[in-house]
Amino acid sequence: MGVATGGDFEAQAGPYRDELLVHCYRMLGSVHEAEDLVQETMLRAWRAWRRYDPSLASVRTWLYRIATNACLSALEGRARRPLPSGLGGPSDDPDAPLTPAADVPWLQPFPDARLGDPAAEVVRRGTLRLALVAAIQVLPPRQRAVLILRDVLEFSAAEAAALLETSPAAVNSALQRARASLSGCAAAEGRVAEPGDAAVRRTVDRYIRSFEAGDVAGLVALLTRDAVLEMPPVPLWYAGRDGYGRFMTRVFAMRGADWRITALTANTQPALAAYCRDGDAYALHTLQVLTVTPEGVARNVVFQDPAVFAAFRLPGSLS
C-alpha cells in the first residue's frame, strides 16, 4: 500500500503532471481549466494515497482514472468549446463588424512550451493538433473520454472500462461511435505536414516575411485554394484565398504595414505572435496557429484573447 508522505507521493505522482495537463486539455479545450483540473487531480490523489494499491493499477493509470472522472464532472452541463468554423458558414463580407462573442467558451490553443517528458510521447501522430482537439469537443463527454483513452493514450478496452467504471463492451461501442463522428477530421489531418519538415519551415518563414511587410499578395500566394481564416473570440471566419486576402487587406489598412513576428509552436503546429507598430514599440496583437500542408497554409486560427496570451506568456510589447 502507498504511504501518505508528501515526498513519496510527489516522487511517484509528480512526473505525470505534464501529461495529465495535456489529457485534461484534450478533454476540456482550455489550458486554464486543464491546469485547475490537474491541481484537483493531484489533491484528490494525495488525499487517497494511503488507500492506493499498486497491485490493482500503476500510479499512472490510477491518476488517469482520477483526472478523467474529474474532467467528466467538470463537463456536466457545460457547453462545448468551439472554433468559429464550428458554429456556422463562412462570411463573405471582409468589412463585417469584428464583435467578440463573449458568451461563447472558445477553444484555446495549447503552448508547446508546456510539453515535457513524458508528455512529448503522448502527442505523437498529431494527436494534439488544433483541428482534432476542436473535433473532439463535439463529442459527448464520455465518448470524448473513451476516444482519448483508447486511440490517443492506447489504454486497452478493459483498462478504459475500469477507469470509467463501465464494461469493455460499452467502451467499444462508444469508441465506434466516436471514430465515426471524427472520420472526416482524421482524413483531413492526414494531409498536414509535420512541423519539422523543411518545406513547412520555408513556408512559415515566407509567411512571416510577408506578414511583417504587410504584403497581402505574398500571403495569399502561400495559401491553399480553400484556406480558412478564423478569429476567436470574433465568430466570423473566411474560406478561400479571396476572402482571406480581402480580410488581410482590411487588417493592414487598420493597423498599418509594419509588424514584428515571434515564431513559436502551439498544438505541435507552427504558431506566430504578431506585434503591430504602436508608436516607438510594437504591441501584441494576435497569436496565430497555422496548419501547413504540402500545398501551403490551409488554416490560420487567430486568437486575440488575453487569457491565451497569458497561457503563452507573451510579452505585451516589443521594443
Q: Where are the domains of the chain?
A: 1-78, 198-318
The yes or no reply on domain 1-78 and CATH 1.10.1740.10 is yes
Which helix (H) or strand (E) covers residue 176, if one does?
helix 168-181
Topology alike, domains 1-78 and 198-318: no
217, three cell numbers: 499578395
DSSP letters of 126-158?
A: GTT-HHHHHHHHHS-HHHHHHHIIIIIS---HH
Dihedral sign (CA 217, 292, 117, 146): positive
For residue 319, what pLDDT is reported? Answer: 85
Condensed to tens digits (0 to 9), the pLDDT of residues 252-272 reads: 999 999 999 999 999 999 999
pLDDT along the chain (319 residues), means of 10: 59 93 96 97 95 92 97 94 95 93 95 75 73 94 96 94 96 96 69 77 96 97 97 96 96 95 94 96 97 95 96 95
For residue 123, what pLDDT is reported? Answer: 65
For the purposes of burial, counting CB atoms within 10 Å of the CB of 93, is it exposed (0-12), middle (13-18) or buried (19 or more)? exposed
For residue 186, what pLDDT is reported? Answer: 57
For residue 191, what pLDDT is reported? Answer: 65
For residue 3, what pLDDT is reported? Answer: 43
For residue 64, what pLDDT is reported? Answer: 97
198-318: CATH, from 1.20.120.450, 3.40.50.300, 2.40.128.120, 3.10.450.50: 3.10.450.50
For residue 140, what pLDDT is reported? Answer: 96
For residue 309, what pLDDT is reported? Answer: 97
